[in-house]
Structures are given as structure tokens and as C-alpha cells.
Structure 1
Amino acid sequence: MHAAQQRVAQALARCREVYPTLPAPKVWFDLKGASAGQAHLGRGGLRFNPVLLSDNRDAYFDEVIPHEMAHWLVFHLANGTRLKPHGREWQAVMRDLFGLVPKVTHRFDTQRSQPRPYRYECGCQTHCFTARRHALVVKGRRYRCRHCDQTLVYSAFENP
């Protein structure tokens, strides 16, 4: 985590070359699920997924941290004006400031960061649900298979 915070500091220094008064973001390692990072402008900082960081360290340092820092910079340059999250301004920062191809999504294996231990069955296959989706089913939500259109039924056997 310390090395990631240092990389955030390096990216901040790069951003301050064009916007010297850019405030330093707070940094949290509390993001879960499939998201690698998030510029959480309301909380005043950047959030990162510690599991994906651990599994994809080089890509995090080379792509994810600059990606989120580009959001941070664009938000402050726009002075609160709402812009498209991955619009022209963000793309220009990625290309011109960080020298990166402005990619919106990652291709990390999210198996460890997004466990799906709840099994549901239909007429044609097994579906694995996250705890959040399973909780919605317990509250009454129904899901249907996209292939056979049957309602998914909890099988009670959890994945190992």
C-alpha cells in the first residue's frame, strides 16, 4: 500500500506541472468487487481495490493510478462543472500528460476480488451470485436466465 501511495504522489507531482495548486487527494484501499479504482470526488480522494492491486501491481502503477489521478485533475480543472467521466478532457490528460492510451476498463481477473459463492440453477446452467445479489433474492427479487428464460432457483450448495 505504501508503494501505491508513493505512485499516487508521483502522479500528483506530474499533474501539478500543469495545475500547481491541485490539492492532494486522500487515498483509501477499501474498494471491493470488480472496480480497480475510483476517483471519489465527494469524499475528496481516490479509492483502490487492494485485492486487484496485489494481483496486478505493475498494471496498477502504470495504468490505474494515472487513470484515477486524471479524473482528479479534470474534476479540479473543470471547477465543479459536470463533464463526461471519460470524455475529451480526461482522454487528453491520459494521452498528453501521462502518455497513456485512454482506456476506460481493465481486463484484470476479478475472481478473488469478487467472490460469487451462491449457486442458482435454471433449465440450462448454473449461475453464481455475489452475496449482494443473493441478499436481493432473499428480499424477493427474481432473476431469469438470459438463455432459457427460466427463473433462477437457489441450489443451497456453495462453491468451495
Structure 2
Amino acid sequence: MKSPALPTPDVDRLFALDQAALHARLHQRVDDAWQLGRKVYPALPRPGTWLDLRGKCAGQAHFGRGGLRFNPTLLSENRLAFFVDVVPHEMAHWLVHHLEEGHRVRPHGREWRSVMRNLYGLEPRATHRFDTRSASPAPYRYRCACRDHHFSRRRHALACAGQSYVCRQCRQPLVHSSVS
């Protein structure tokens, strides 16, 4: 596999950026990845870029909205990995989708893997390995016979609406105890 096509950013400079400068630099990195994609597919439309993704996802190519979404919390905590891996990952989705018949291919299929390897010079990986605890807090505590479990707001709402959950270890029902 060839070396990464996008230059690796200077780590010290990247970590010295405040939030506004980091977001501006992310927009620039998306533009750099887009320009590289246009060398292969000149008709590739420029994606919009938003920093409005929440939860455990680092990034998302959103075709209906016309661009790429990124998680600002995970960006702030994983700056170098975002610039080296996440931006090319999402831009590869963007490129493959806009190719003829691209809307019919599997998200992390052969075409996407080929773009990751041959255009961006990266090993294709479908998922990140970031610590997502701060990006996806689970403040609702539930108890069983053996331990505490922490639910997200969504899972807590489902439990309040009648969905029942049991512990995988002790098979006892999970009962809401308090907000952490």
C-alpha cells in the first residue's frame, strides 16, 4: 500500500488550535480530500461540512443533506486521527456514492476499500476505536442483582415507555435507580 496521499498534519500545531481554528482546519482538510477526489472524478460535487453529529459516530456522509457530518466532541479529543483517518473515510463514501451506480454499492464494499487504499493510501477500516464516553454520555443508572448499568437518554425513554431490559450476567430485570 502506498503512503497516505494527504499530508499528515503537524501534531503540535493541531493540538494548539482552539475550537474555532480546529473547525476551520477541518473544513480545509475536507476541501483537500475533495480536491484529491476530483483528480479521479472531476465531476465530484463539493460536499457541505457540518459539525453537528453527536453520539458514538465520528463522521457520516449524508447524501440527502449533501455533505459530510462530523462529531465535534470526538474531533476535539482525537484530532490527529480525525485528520488522518476520519476525513478520508467519509470523503471516500462521498466519492463512491457519486460514481455511476455508486448509490447501489455496499457502504464499506470493494469500491470504498479501493478508494481508501488507492486514492488516500490508507488501510480501510469501517469503524473507529475512539473512547466515546464523553461524546455519548449515559447518565441514567439502572440496577440488577449484580451491578450498575448506565442507559443513554434514548434507552431510558424506551424503558419509561415500557420496554423491559434484563442483565446479561444475572438475567434479573434492570430497575431505574437514579440519575448519575
- TM-score using structure 2 length: 0.85
Residues 80 and 88 of structure 1, relative CA distance in 2, 3 Å threshold: closer
* 1:35 CA displacement: 0.4
Among all aligned residue pairs of Structure 1 and Structure 2, give the percentage whose two residues are the same amino acid. 58
- Of residues 90, 93, 96, the one that matches 1:71 is 93
State the alpha-carbon separation in 2 of the partners of residues 79 and 6 from structure 1. 28
Unpaired stretches in structure 1, ≥5 consecutive residues: none
Q: How many residues align?
A: 158
- Cα deviation digits, residues 103-145 of structure 1 (max 9, x gap): 1111111111000110000111110011111111111111111
| Cross-structure match for 2:112 | 90
> Any residues of structure 2 matched to 1:6-25 within 5 Å, and which?
6-25=28-47
- Cα deviation digits, residues 48-105 of structure 1 (max 9, x gap): 0000001001100000000000000000013454111000000000000000000111
| Cross-structure match for 1:145 | 167
| Cross-structure match for 2:69 | 47
| Cross-structure match for 1:119 | 141
Report the aligned-residue RMSD.
0.9
| Cross-structure match for 2:81 | 59
SS at match of 1:155: strand
- Of residues 103, 118, 130, the one that matches 2:152 is 130
State the alpha-carbon separation in 2 of the partners of residues 78 and 123 from structure 1. 55
| Cross-structure match for 1:109 | 131
Give the helix-richer structure, 1 or 2.
2
Unpaired stretches in structure 2, ≥5 consecutive residues: 1-22
- TM-score using structure 1 length: 0.96
State the alpha-carbon separation in 2 of the partners of residues 80 and 108 from structure 1. 29
Aligned amino acid, residue 149 of structure 2 = H
Q: Which moved more, 1:31-40 or 1:80-89?
A: 80-89
| Cross-structure match for 1:2 | 24
Moved runs in structure 1, 4+ residues, more than 3 A?
78-81
